[in-house]
Structure 1
Amino acid sequence: MKQNKPSARPFSAGTRRGAAQKPEEERATHRPWHHLPGGQFRNPAGSPVRSQAPVKCTLPFFARMVRQSFDKVEVPEGHVIPRPLAHRALSDHMVKQGDFLTWLGHASFLLRLNGKVILTDPYLTRYAGPAGLGPKRYVKSGIAIGDLPPVDYLVVSHNHYDHLDERALARLPGKERMTVIVPLRLGEFFTARGFKNVVELDWHDAYDADGLTITALPVVHWSRRSGFDTNRTLWAGFSFKAERHHVFFGGDSAYGPVFEEIGKAYGPFDTALIGIGAYEPRVMMAASHANPEEAVAIGRDIGAKRLVGMHWGTVVLTAEPPFEPPERFMKAGRERGYTNHDLWIMAIGETRDLSDPWPANT
């Protein structure tokens, strides 16, 4: 497996540029807080705790999810751009100079920064689960896998099926040329599937190339691919910092004090891609996924100029109405001082320019 030498560790568990002090346990053991002695990982200090919800909550939830799997989701007009039009718009942007963002659905985006194409969390086929099981997406990916442009960097936040789609990876061309960037212990998954250039990053490690710095950042979530590997691989968000734009990609995350630390150590950001869906019931989801109001708080904490809602509008994972998240997100954003211009609810398949310089240069 190809390993990069981390170019920087801007702060460790919140010690640099005004962040909180290291927890006492980390100071005593010299082991990062999120590394447990048995080989598992845990969330940043002060994060909400993921615990077993009561049966009176879980049984109705799973029964509802089973019922909903047979229901047709009514998709509003304009939520999805027809694929021929989406492909044409993406192709037009590819021949231009400049940075852009394309939403493929859920947490999957194409970004071009400094001339390099980044693909995030490629859940691009039908089911968020193994062997045709699991929740089924009610809209196709914005761009067909065969129509994707050549990918320079494939960046995956964690190993859950709605973010790491093995069937999509099997069909993804360019395994020999692209660089895959993943959190710790997830690299072997990719090398075993034919990817040649794989880089694992711990939180705060950075990979520098092509005028682009990709830094793995702590978020509040967890990992599991089977019933026996809970938290054995790390999860992460990412900073993508190029000459003229600085992007935060949140992966999957609940809200926690770590985002204020990220803002102090790495901010400001021009654009933040933040999950706004999969949040009900709160007793089950509060330690895994931010609700729309918390997503806006994350954006504020990290110093983001523009917020893009993601992790919604693609597949039913939880109990909230499928098209409630953007309404709450827009309302919460305006209440926290953002304008409509700076709150993006994109259509699946839509491509938008990222034309503003990142704030540190202004």
Structure 2
Amino acid sequence: MRIATMAKLIGGILLWIVVALCLFLTLVPPFLDRIYYRGQETAHFDGERFANPDGETAPAPALAFVFLAHRIGSAMQQPVWPTSVAVAQSRPPARVAGQAMQVTWIGHASVLIQTQGLNILTDPVWSDTAGPLGMGPRRVAAPGVAIADLPKIDLIVVSHNHYDHLDLATLKALWQRDRPVIVTGLGNDSVIGQAGVPARGLDWGQKLTLQPGIDVVVTRNHHWSSRWFADRNRALWSSFVVTLPGGNLFFAGDTGWGDGKWPAEAAALGPVRFAAIPVGAFRFKPGQMAADAHIGPRDAIRVWDGLGRPWALPIHWGTFRLSWEAYRTPPDMLAAMLRCGGTDPARFVDHPLGQRFDVPAIGTPPAPPSDDGIARCRAEGRFDGFR
């Protein structure tokens, strides 16, 4: 009897939570809308909002409902994540000269790339939570490098305005310390400007010359943007190519597969030496292999293949819990899929947070992964143990 009463109480509480969320999503959003960018209409901007020309993602409220319903319905079934992960923080060198290249994974989508005497940082987030007003997912792993131990940053690229990628507190701290060049998609410069930080907002295909022979090019991917639900797609999402002597740098940002043509578009700007490619936050139900706005290991391999199979780092996992999969599922599944496809996983493998590694010069690329091999391994149940 006591158990039945408790179940009714919990059910009633959950019902009121859903009702409150419905009211919130109905009444509050008009007051949370923002205009971040005004400009001429293009193939991916209708004068008010940006869009994926290869097909739109699900509306933000729908995503919120699906995510909440899943979290409530499967809370007892979800794989357990660690509450904290030990991190051996490091202190990178002040500069890496010439065509040598060293990379340090900071966490999530934050990566430090050092080459040509430049220090480049992607989507820097040092805050403890990823959400508005200090709410949202809490990081389980400290940044691989303390912000005070970072070398002077010359360039920051910001892929879009979701809180796990655009962190105003971090950007403000880095701007006040180093005065880096900050490049982002259209409209995000307005968001960053709210912290008193200047940023250069560019459209897909536009570039900023950092120095002779080194350009920052804003390139297409497949995602969406929002800070407050109702401001959905008021700012542009993007990936980036940094052209460099000896081979380019590619940062995929946060992305789904879409039409799958955008990796080759980035590779057309020149051979890619190093790529940071997301692999996590792809499961919102057991067995799911990708989400509309997030690629998993399977599609990450396709992105890697489209880039010419450069040396790559899997990112967007193991820092903030954003979906259903277990903590180590993304990199472990990636390695298993590469082996099943007949490819040595050493060129696209995870590295510990804070551990600096060298990126070799461009050489002979490995053989392309075999789709048939991956399909066969999946049919044989080799991926069934991943949650």
Please say if residues 276 and 312 of structure 1, whose CA atoms lie closer than 8 Å, have aligned partners that are also in contact: yes
Distance 1:65 1:222, change over 3 A: farther
Count of residue pairs brought into register by the alignment: 319
**Relative contact order: is structure 1 or structure 2 higher (C-alpha 8 Å, sep ≥ 6)?**
1
Counterparts of 1:134-173 in structure 2, within 5 Å, are: 134-173=136-175
Please say if residues 95 and 119 of structure 2, whose CA atoms lie closer than 8 Å, have aligned partners that are also in contact: no
Tell me the TM-score normalized by structure 1.
Answer: 0.79
Please say if residues 122 and 163 of structure 1, whose CA atoms lie closer than 8 Å, have aligned partners that are also in contact: yes
- Shift of residue 169 of structure 1? 2.3
Cα offsets for 1:200-220 (capped at 9, x unmatched): 110011111223111111111
Deviates most, 199-208 or 329-338:
329-338
Q: Which amino acid aligns with 1:205?
A: Q
Deviates most, 204-213 or 286-295:
204-213
Corresponding residue for 2:258?
Answer: 256
- Shift of residue 99 of structure 1? 1.9
Q: Which amino acid aligns with 1:266?
A: L
Write the distance in 2 (CA, Å) between the matches of 1:227 and 1:306. Answer: 36
Deviates most, 184-193 or 230-239:
184-193
1:342 to 2:347 alignment:
yes
Q: Which amino acid aligns with 1:112?
A: Q
Counterparts of 1:46-61 in structure 2, within 5 Å, are: 47=55, 49-51=57-59, 57-61=66-70
Write the distance in 2 (CA, Å) between the matches of 1:55 and 1:102. Answer: 33
Corresponding residue for 1:310?
Answer: 315
Counterparts of 1:106-117 in structure 2, within 5 Å, are: 106-117=108-119
Q: Which amino acid aligns with 2:238?
A: A
Please say if residues 57 and 223 of structure 2, whose CA atoms lie closer than 8 Å, have aligned partners that are also in contact: no
Q: Which amino acid aligns with 1:82?
A: A
What CA RMSD, in Å, does the superposition of the two structures yield over aligned residues? 3.0
Counterparts of 1:1-362 in structure 2, within 5 Å, are: 31-37=41-47, 39-45=48-54, 47=55, 49-51=57-59, 57-63=66-72, 73=82, 81-83=87-89, 86-87=90-91, 90-91=92-93, 94=95, 98-174=100-176, 177-196=179-198, 198-210=199-211, 211-257=213-259, 258-259=261-262, 261-262=264-265, 265-281=268-284, 286-357=291-362
Write the distance in 2 (CA, Å) between the matches of 1:154 and 1:140. Answer: 20
Cα offsets for 1:310-340 (capped at 9, x unmatched): 0001111101111101111112223445323
Cα offsets for 1:106-147 (capped at 9, x unmatched): 000111232111111011110001222100000111111111
Provide structure 1 residue ranges, at least 5 long, that are not aligned to the other structure.
1-29
Q: Which amino acid aligns with 2:206?
A: D
Please say if residues 96 and 116 of structure 2, whose CA atoms lie closer than 8 Å, have aligned partners that are also in contact: no
- Shift of residue 188 of structure 1? 2.1
Write the distance in 1 (CA, Å) between the matches of 2:169 and 2:75. Answer: 23
State the identity %: 30
Please say if residues 101 and 110 of structure 1, whose CA atoms lie closer than 8 Å, have aligned partners that are also in contact: yes
- Shift of residue 192 of structure 1? 3.4
- Shift of residue 95 of structure 1? 6.1
Please say if residues 113 and 245 of structure 1, whose CA atoms lie closer than 8 Å, have aligned partners that are also in contact: no
Write the distance in 2 (CA, Å) between the matches of 1:128 and 1:331. Answer: 30
Please say if residues 81 and 142 of structure 1, whose CA atoms lie closer than 8 Å, have aligned partners that are also in contact: yes
Q: Which amino acid aligns with 1:352?
A: F
Tell me the TM-score normalized by structure 2.
Answer: 0.74
- Shift of residue 284 of structure 1? 11
Write the distance in 2 (CA, Å) between the matches of 1:163 and 1:65. Answer: 27
- Shift of residue 54 of structure 1? 9.1
Write the distance in 2 (CA, Å) between the matches of 1:188 and 1:57. Answer: 30
Q: Which amino acid aligns with 1:178?
A: P
- Shift of residue 166 of structure 1? 1.9
Write the distance in 1 (CA, Å) between the matches of 2:320 and 2:74. Answer: 11
Q: Which amino acid aligns with 1:145?
A: I
Q: Which amino acid aligns with 1:307?
A: A
Give 3-state SS (helix, strand or coil) of 1:63's partner. Answer: helix
Bigger-Rg structure (1/2) = 2
Distance 1:170 1:263, change over 3 A: closer
Distance 1:65 1:180, change over 3 A: farther
Please say if residues 267 and 302 of structure 1, whose CA atoms lie closer than 8 Å, have aligned partners that are also in contact: no
Write the distance in 2 (CA, Å) between the matches of 1:55 and 1:127. Answer: 18
Cα offsets for 1:33-76 (capped at 9, x unmatched): 21124x1001132x46425759995444232698899x761667
Please say if residues 104 and 357 of structure 2, whose CA atoms lie closer than 8 Å, have aligned partners that are also in contact: yes
- Shift of residue 81 of structure 1? 4.2
